[in-house]
Structure 1
Amino acid sequence: MLLAYIDETSNTRCYRTVGLVVRADDVRPFAEQLDAVVAGAPLKSMVRARISIYRQAFDVTAQHAEGIWVEGLDRKSFRDRYAGRHDEHVTTLLHLLEKLNRYANRRGEDLIVIADEHRTARSAQAALRQARRERVWGYRGKPQRIADTVYFVSSAGSRLVQAADLVAFLYQRLADGVDRNERAAAANKALWSALGNVPVHDRLWEP
């Protein structure tokens, strides 16, 4: 059994949905090690202290994650082409689920999907149910490996959704060159290097 933990990230140019895939046997030790990282965090919010905590969290993530999937879109192109007919979050989520289902199918594993709570949760769940019966916009094929539905939870209650959030946040900063300060950019690249052994599958769709 595989589990995918999902969160979204965006700026004015791009909207992305990010999935962190973990084997079921790794979920408990992954969460426990993240708990230990948070428990050891200093109360002071100094920059160096925060970077140290992030680095530890990424080190733990690298030990347990099977892969990272990123599905993004260009927001202006999407708005211009679809003019409110489709939601960017549901769209990127369906694109991501398609890729995750394909990966799970290749592995011969079923997949449980847990995502950060979002206002479009019911729409996304309905689209996934529909995709099991017929072709829907934004999803090719059938989600035969995805177990039941997408479970939307508060990130405050899930260490692994928090890990997906960290990955999503840092990925977008690096991909879009957000940091103009050279020291900040270098620090973020160093943090990302902790995930060097984790395969990253990313796409930015420009409709």
Structure 2
Amino acid sequence: MLYAFLDESYTADRYYVGAIVVRTENLSDVSGALKASREYARGFGIDSPSVEFHAHEIMSGVGCWAPVRGKTRAALAIYGDALDRLAELPIKMIIRGVDVTRLNARYRYPYAPHRIALQHALEAVNEYAASVGDVVTVIADEVQGQAMHILQTAQYQVSGTGGYRSSKLVQIEMPIVFGKSSESPGVQSADLAVYLYRRLDAHVEKHERTRRAVERLWEKVQPIRHHVWRWDP
């Protein structure tokens, strides 16, 4: 059995959904990696044993991450430590995005960007599960309108996802599940991955040093990258 943990990150112009795919026997490894990174973060004054790994909060120094506010090097060190540990695990990372500006320019009544990015991410997760001959349970971070997403994704197994690569997502166990990220190291790991790609792909850094730092973080997850793509309608 596989598990795919999903989270989203977006700007006004681009929307992304990322997934971390894990085999059942490796779930504890993901939890252990973030537990070890929490211990590492204690050296920077982050002393909450249950602190969540939310990339935006780490980089902004908000909430439990306030001790690293304004300390970019410390935030990057903590972020990098978590990514290093995840990159050593037998997991896969999938990210799908959509250019919202181009979507709205091409279609008079386009689907919501979240729906599109989620659909494309599920198609990629389904393809991966099929390639390894397994089924996958999908657990996503809580979002507004999640009841509609549950109904929509279940309908895909009846009528297909549509488009030129329509899929009935037969490898995915329905319904997909939405849960609190605080209870899911897998969702927190997906958050770290998808935020980073959004920062790389959709954000213009003001400082060259910051841009290089983001690129170095992205290189850390090269071992687990399986499928990363943005649709430009």
Provide the TM-score with structure 2 as the length reference.
0.82
Spell out, residue by residue over 1:91-143, the C-alpha distance to the aligned partner (whole angstroms, 9 max, x if none): 11011111111110111111011111111311211112111222344671211
Structure 1 residues 48 and 136, CA gap change in structure 2 (3 angstroms): closer
Candidates 152, 155, 160, aligned match of 2:181:
155
Equivalent residue of 1:64, what SS?
A: coil
- Which amino acid in structure 1 is aligned with residue 218 of structure 2? W
- What letter matches 2:222 in structure 1? G
Give the equivalent residue in structure 2 for 1:190: 216
Is the counterpart of residue 111 in structure 1 residue 136 in structure 2? yes
Corresponding residue number in structure 2 for 1:68: 93
8 A contact 1:90–1:120 mirrored in 2: no
Report what 1:97 is aligned to: 122
Structure 2: segments with no counterpart, 5+ residues: 46-66
Match of 1:144 among 155, 170, 174: 170
Equivalent-residue separation in structure 2 for 1:81 and 1:137 (angstroms): 17
Q: Is the 8 A contact 2:11 2:202 kept in 1?
A: no
Q: Are the counterparts in 1 of residues 87 and 221 from structure 2 also a CA contact under 8 Å?
A: yes
The 5 Å alignment of 1:1-207 reads 1-41=1-41, 42-43=44-45, 44-45=67-68, 46-137=71-162, 140-207=166-233
**Which amino acid is 1:48 matched to?**
R
In structure 2, C-alpha distance between the alignment counterparts of 1:84 and 1:117, rounded to whole Å: 26
The DSSP-based 3-state class of the residue aligned with 1:12 is coil
Rounded to whole Å, the distance in 2 between the matches of 1:82 and 1:65 is: 40
Unaligned runs of 5+ in 1: none
Aligned residue pairs total: 207
CA contact (8 A) 1:21 1:66 kept: yes
TM-aligned CA deviation for residue 177 of structure 1: 4.6
Distance 2:202 2:146 in 1: 27
Report the Cα offset of residue 83 of structure 1: 4.0
Question: By how many angstroms is 1:64 displaced?
Answer: 1.9
Percent identical pairs in the alignment equals 30
Do 2:5 and 2:187's aligned partners in 1 also have CA atoms closer than 8 Å?
yes
Code of the aligned partner of 1:205: W
Q: Secondary structure at the match of 2:120?
A: helix
Aligned alpha-carbon RMSD (Å): 1.8
Contact 1:127–1:136, Cα closer than 8 Å, also in 2: no
Counterpart residue type for residue 93 of structure 1:
L
Q: Is the 8 A contact 1:3 1:23 kept in 2?
A: yes
Shift, 1:84, TM fit: 4.5
Relative to the length of structure 1, the TM-score reads 0.91
In structure 2, relative to structure 1, the CA distance for the partners of 1:82 and 1:121 (3 Å cut) is: farther
> What letter matches 2:32 in structure 1?
E
- Check conservation: 2:160, 2:169, Cα contact below 8 A: no
Cα distance in 2 for residues equivalent to 1:178 and 1:150:
34
What code does the residue aligned with 2:201 have? A
Does the CA contact (< 8 Å) of 2:200 and 2:215 recur in 1?
A: yes
Amino acid at match of 2:170: Q
